Amino acid sequence: MVTRRWLRIGLVGLVVVLALSGVACTGGDATVEETKAGTALDGQALLEARCVECHGLDRTTGASKSAAEWQETVERMVSKGAQLSPAEVETLVAYLAETYAP
């Protein structure tokens, strides 16, 4: 009987998680920028969501670059396959330049 109880609790929890994720979902094509527009976390969210697909965050957090250097770096990453829209590139570069400037 205890197993059934935990199974029921687990199923209820799963339903709640799925329901909450459905509420938060704005469609399959929504960008990080669109889902977090207006918050200070735009650039950080983009960094964490898109850049870590290929390398660790320590590569970025250990760097110190000017805005122009970050622009060049991000554009190079896009040319290598990073999935960022032009607006996301702008947001990410602004965040990186502000957070990891010399």
Higher pLDDT, 26 or 16: 16
**How do residues 40-88 score in pLDDT, each as one tens digit?**
468 999 999 999 889 998 988 899 999 999 999 999 999 999 999 999 9
Q: CA 101, CA 69: separation in Å to the nearest integer? A: 10
Its pTM stands at: 0.60
At 70, list the tokens: 């970050």
Q: Is 1's pLDDT higher than 90?
A: no
Across 94-101, average pLDDT: 93
41 close to 89: Cβ distance less than 8 angstroms: no
Tell me, what's the pLDDT at 10? 56
Mean pLDDT of 27-38: 45
Task: Please indicate whether residue 89 or residue 6 has the higher confidence score (pLDDT).
Answer: 89
Q: How far is CA 65 from CA 10, 72, 79, in A?
A: 47, 10, 19
Per-residue pLDDT at 5? 64
